[in-house]
Structures are given as structure tokens and as C-alpha cells.
């Protein structure tokens, strides 16, 4: 029994981690050196799915992070406070920290990593993004030998589950959401998932690692999936796309070291042949493009007790291995080396394709007028479809070629003023 863990939280992930550590046959033998020394919980009376000696459970979380016997603090309680304070205290007390807390890392990463560096300890966060998928470590330890161009992820299982069911069943967002809540795939308050906030936290973390700089969470553009209608899914399907909530971090000119990034979360039309198009249900996937590697994709369960416990335990395993080496200097791949903020370009500067759906009066020449307005602002069209009618109005769908987002919005402003245009119910980006 060499390495003592202090686990903060015994919810889904904490329970999964304890279960894994209590059943070691067939796993890496190094895990046998771990002792579950303390587990901090809110209530000692609650019935647990795991058996732990009475002296291990405690409601005094502060005592865990300041106990000199604890080597590694495993923060799996979630939420911003007291998680942030406990993490900082643990680090100041010279303890390595493993956390699954994307919200805390995305918001307080700078403070947390600075504290860790000062104390000479490590913060590990494999479980913060992509559930069980090993992606943080490959990004830090392997892929950064590449010049990273783009990181594109389906990093929120709830929204991917909802969009997949809308796609396969032709259902409405609100019906599928209600069902997902009933089945436990969406939370009672689905805001963080559905509005893209959870995905924004995760892409901020991935971007920070991939592009070696801090990311200000306020700079991450974020659009959720509430406005995705089954009409748009049907049009997308006809045009050869599926709609996915993508989290994207992209360097505008990868060869220039001072190039700015776009970091964003939004529903996106993905060509059906694209590797991310076939990631369905609660699965997550992260696609990394760089030079000279090309494209690499990681795919797996984005959530769940077992998958997340696997990621948490892999971080613990790596720390146990480090503790055995009696290292003199910190390993630069395990510390956070950057202190500068990445430069994030405004969305108006983004160059992307767009999908837009217009409801127009059923009169001749409307497509011509649309085309003229687009042309005035340098927007060229890849495809135009006019098939449906909605309540006496003609429905026109266009997909553009690559265009500066600012120019596209200027064209739309002009189009909105056309007498023939009733409304523009949908506007989505295209990968």
C-alpha cells in the first residue's frame, strides 16, 4: 500500500472509480499499490453502491486536502465551489490532483495550473473531456509534435443523442429532449448541455492544450441545438449532410505562429462521408488535424460511470508511476507550460460555409433577388433548393461556398429588407 488517495465525491464517477480500484484482477498491477485512504461525501447516512470501511468515509473534505498522508486528491464532486477551493488547497499542500471537472478547469485553469507549478505537483484531467476516451494525454504527449490546425469534436453525449434521435426518427427537439430526460440521458435542467455550454468548456480545454495557450471562456462562441428543427434535418439529409453539435478550435493560418484561433460550439451540417458524421448516440469523438500527421480521430463513450472511472484511474495510474520514479525535476509534459492567452478572432472573421432557409412570398424572381443580394457581398452559392411550402410561403434553402461570416451577415441584412422575404427561420454553419 504505497500511494494514498483522497477522493472528493462519491457520486456516479466516484463510485465507478472506487469499484474499479476494488476489483483489480486483469488490470495494470501498479494499481495494487493504491490505497483508498479517504473518501469525502456530503452525507454518511446515504446508502452506497460500494463498501468502504467506516473510517474512510468522511464529510470533512477540507481535512482530506490538508491531510499529510494523502498523496493524490481525486476531485470527482463536480461544480465550481467548493471544488475550486479544495483543488487549490490540495495543490498548495503538495498533493497531485486528478479532476474530472471541465467546468472548473475551463474557468479557473490559469489559477489552478499556476498553483500546481508553484507547488511542483501535477493536475491531471483526462476525464474532463471525452469521458473514457484517452485524448488529453495523446494531445499533450504525442500530437503536439505536430503543428495543430484544427480540433473538431462531438464532445457532448446528451446533444448528440438528441440530434441522432431527431435524425433517425424525424422527431421534434422538445419531444426527444423530454424522452431523453425520462431515460436519464439528459438532466432535469438540460441548459448546460443543450445550450452548448458543456461543449464550450471542453473545447476551451482542448484548444488550450492543442494550441498551447490560455483560452478565455468568454471568447468561445456558443450556440446550442434548440433552434435545430426537424425541417432542417430533413433538408440537410437531402443535401447529403447530418446535423451535429460540433466544438471546433481552428487556427486561421496554421503556418504563422501569431495566427489567431476560432473557438466555437454550434450545430453544424457535416457531410455524410466525414468521419464525425457517423458518430451517433451518446458517443463522443475528437478529430485532430495537424502537420505532418494529417487526420487522427478518437472515438468512444463520452460519459457514464465506467468510462469516466477509466479516465480518472488512468490519471491516478500515471501519477503512481511518477511517484515511484522519485523525480528531481518536474516532467515538462505533465506541467502546464503556457501562460499567454491565445488570440481569438471575432466570429465575423470566420470563413465557413453556411446553410440558410428562407420563407418567401410565392412570387416569381425571388431566387434571383436572393442571388443578387448574395452576389453584392461576395457570397457564392453551392446549392439552392426550392421544394416545400409552409403555410402559403415558399421555402428556399441555400448552401454557400466558403464566405467570411461578416460578409454573409451583411448579405442577410440586405435580404431581410427584400419585400418578398417573409423570414429566415434557420441559419447553420456547414463543415
Identity of the residue, 60 or 295, whose beta carbon is nearer to a second copy in the bound complex: 295
Q: Which of 148, 176, 233, 412 binds a second copy (CB under 8 A)?
A: 148
- 321 lies in the binding site for a second copy (CB under 8 A): yes
- 20 lies in the binding site for a second copy (CB under 8 A): yes
Rounded CA-CA distance 326/329 in Å is 9
Identity of the residue, 136 or 398, whose beta carbon is nearer to a second copy in the bound complex: 136
- Residues in the interface with a second copy (CB under 8 A) total 68
Q: Which of 68, 184, 292, 364 binds a second copy (CB under 8 A)?
A: 292
Using the structure block, give the residue that is written with the C-alpha cell 434571383. Answer: 368
Q: Considering only residues 97 through 126, tell me which ones interact with a second copy, judged by CB under 8 A.
A: 126
Identity of the residue, 183 or 273, whose beta carbon is nearer to a second copy in the bound complex: 273
Residue 169 CB coordination number (10 Å): 12
Q: Which of 43, 46, 182, 326 binds a second copy (CB under 8 A)?
A: 326
- 327 lies in the binding site for a second copy (CB under 8 A): yes
Residue 325 CB coordination number (10 Å): 8
Closest contact distance (angstroms) between CB of 254 and a second copy is: 7
Q: Which of 2, 120, 170, 275 binds a second copy (CB under 8 A)?
A: 275
Q: Which stretch binds a second copy (CB under 8 A): 4-12, 184-192, 195-203, 286-294?
A: 286-294
On whether the CB atoms of residues 208 and 214 are closer than 8 A, the answer is yes
Rounded CA-CA distance 130/133 in Å is 5
- 271 lies in the binding site for a second copy (CB under 8 A): no
Residue 191 CB coordination number (10 Å): 11
Q: Is 202 a catalytic residue?
A: yes
Q: Which of 49, 169, 172, 295 binds a second copy (CB under 8 A)?
A: 295
On whether the CB atoms of residues 121 and 65 are closer than 8 A, the answer is no
Closest contact distance (angstroms) between CB of 252 and a second copy is: 13
- 35 lies in the binding site for a second copy (CB under 8 A): no
Give the distance from CA 134 to its chain's centroid: 14
On whether the CB atoms of residues 100 and 83 are closer than 8 A, the answer is no
- 318 lies in the binding site for a second copy (CB under 8 A): yes
Q: Considering only residues 175 through 234, tell me which ones interact with a second copy, judged by CB under 8 A.
A: 212
Rounded CA-CA distance 74/212 in Å is 25
Closest contact distance (angstroms) between CB of 256 and a second copy is: 8
Q: Which of 41, 301, 426, 430 binds a second copy (CB under 8 A)?
A: 301
Q: Considering only residues 229 through 258, tell me which ones interact with a second copy, judged by CB under 8 A.
A: 254-255, 257
Rounded CA-CA distance 370/365 in Å is 9
- Spot the catalytic one: 102, 140, 202, 250: 202
Cα angle value 299/300/301 (rounded, 5°): 150
Give the distance from CA 181 to its chain's centroid: 20
Cα angle value 336/298/83 (rounded, 5°): 45
Q: Return the C-alpha cell found at 100.
A: 474530472
Residue 384: which residues within 8 A CB-CB, separation 6 or more? Answer: 367, 370, 371, 396, 397, 398
Tell me the CB-side half-sphere exposure of residue 358, using CA atoms within 13 A: 26
- 54 lies in the binding site for a second copy (CB under 8 A): no
Q: Which of 82, 138, 213, 425 binds a second copy (CB under 8 A)?
A: 138
End-to-end Cα distance, the chain: 51
- 50 lies in the binding site for a second copy (CB under 8 A): no
User: Which residues are part of the catalytic machinery?
Assistant: 202
| Interface residue list for a second copy (CB under 8 A) | 16, 19-20, 25-31, 126, 132-134, 137-138, 141-148, 212, 254-255, 257, 275, 278, 290-301, 304-307, 309-311, 313-314, 316-318, 321-322, 324-334, 337
Amino acid at each position: 500500500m504505497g500511494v494514498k488517495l483522497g477522493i472528493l465525491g462519491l457520486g456516479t464517477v466516484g463510485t465507478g472509480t472506487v469499484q474499479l480500484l476494488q476489483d483489480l484482477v486483469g488490470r495494470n498491477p501498479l494499481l495494487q499499490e493504491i490505497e483508498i485512504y479517504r473518501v469525502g461525501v456530503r452525507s454518511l447516512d446515504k446508502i452506497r453502491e460500494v463498501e468502504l470501511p467506516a473510517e474512510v468515509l468522511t464529510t470533512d473534505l477540507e481535512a482530506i486536502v490538508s491531510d499529510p498522508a494523502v498523496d493524490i486528491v481525486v476531485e470527482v464532486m463536480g461544480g465550481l465551489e467548493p471544488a475550486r477551493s479544495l483543488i487549490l488547497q490540495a495543490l498548495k499542500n503538495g498533493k497531485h490532483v486528478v479532476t474530472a471537472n471541465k467546468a472548473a478547469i475551463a474557468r479557473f485553469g490559469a489559477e489552478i495550473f499556476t498553483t500546481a507549478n508553484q507547488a511542483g505537483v501535477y493536475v491531471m484531467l483526462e476525464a474532463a473531456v471525452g469521458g473514457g476516451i484517452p485524448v488529453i494525454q495523446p494531445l499533450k504527449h504525442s500530437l503536439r509534435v505536430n503543428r495543430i490546425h484544427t480540433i473538431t469534436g462531438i464532445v457532448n453525449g446528451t446533444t448528440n443523442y438528441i440530434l441522432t434521435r431527431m435524425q433517425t426518427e424525424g422527431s421534434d427537439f422538445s419531444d426527444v429532449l423530454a424522452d431523453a430526460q425520462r431515460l436519464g440521458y439528459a438532466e432535469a435542467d438540460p441548459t448546460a448541455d443543450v445550450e452548448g455550454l458543456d461543449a464550450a468548456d471542453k473545447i476551451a480545454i482542448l484548444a488550450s492544450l492543442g494550441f498551447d495557450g490560455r483560452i478565455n471562456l468568454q471568447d468561445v462562441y456558443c450556440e446550442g441545438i434548440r433552434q435545430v428543427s426537424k425541417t432542417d434535418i430533413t433538408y440537410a439529409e437531402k443535401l447529403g449532410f447530418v446535423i451535429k453539435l460540433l466544438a471546433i478550435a481552428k487556427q486561421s493560418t496554421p503556418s504563422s505562429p501569431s495566427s489567431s484561433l476560432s473557438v466555437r460550439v454550434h450545430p453544424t451540417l457535416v457531410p455524410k462521408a466525414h468521419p464525425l458524421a457517423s458518430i451517433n448516440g451518446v458517443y463522443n469523438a475528437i478529430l485532430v488535424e495537424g502537420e505532418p500527421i494529417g487526420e487522427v480521430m478518437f472515438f468512444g463513450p463520452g460519459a457514464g460511470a465506467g468510462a469516466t472511472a477509466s479516465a480518472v484511474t488512468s490519471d491516478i495510474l500515471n501519477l503512481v508511476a511518477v511517484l515511484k520514479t522519485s523525480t528531481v525535476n518536474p516532467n515538462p509534459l505533465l506541467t502546464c507550460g503556457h501562460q499567454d492567452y491565445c488570440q481569438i478572432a471575432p466570429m465575423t472573421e470566420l470563413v465557413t460555409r453556411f446553410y440558410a432557409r428562407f420563407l418567401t412570398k410565392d412570387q416569381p424572381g425571388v431566387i434571383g433577388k436572393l442571388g443578387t443580394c448574395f452576389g453584392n457581398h461576395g457570397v457564392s452559392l453551392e446549392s439552392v433548393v426550392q421544394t416545400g411550402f409552409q403555410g402559403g410561403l415558399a421555402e428556399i434553402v441555400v448552401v454557400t461556398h466558403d464566405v467570411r461570416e461578416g460578409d454573409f451577415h451583411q448579405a442577410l441584412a440586405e435580404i431581410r429588407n427584400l419585400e418578398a422575404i417573409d423570414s429566415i427561420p434557420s441559419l447553420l454553419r456547414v463543415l
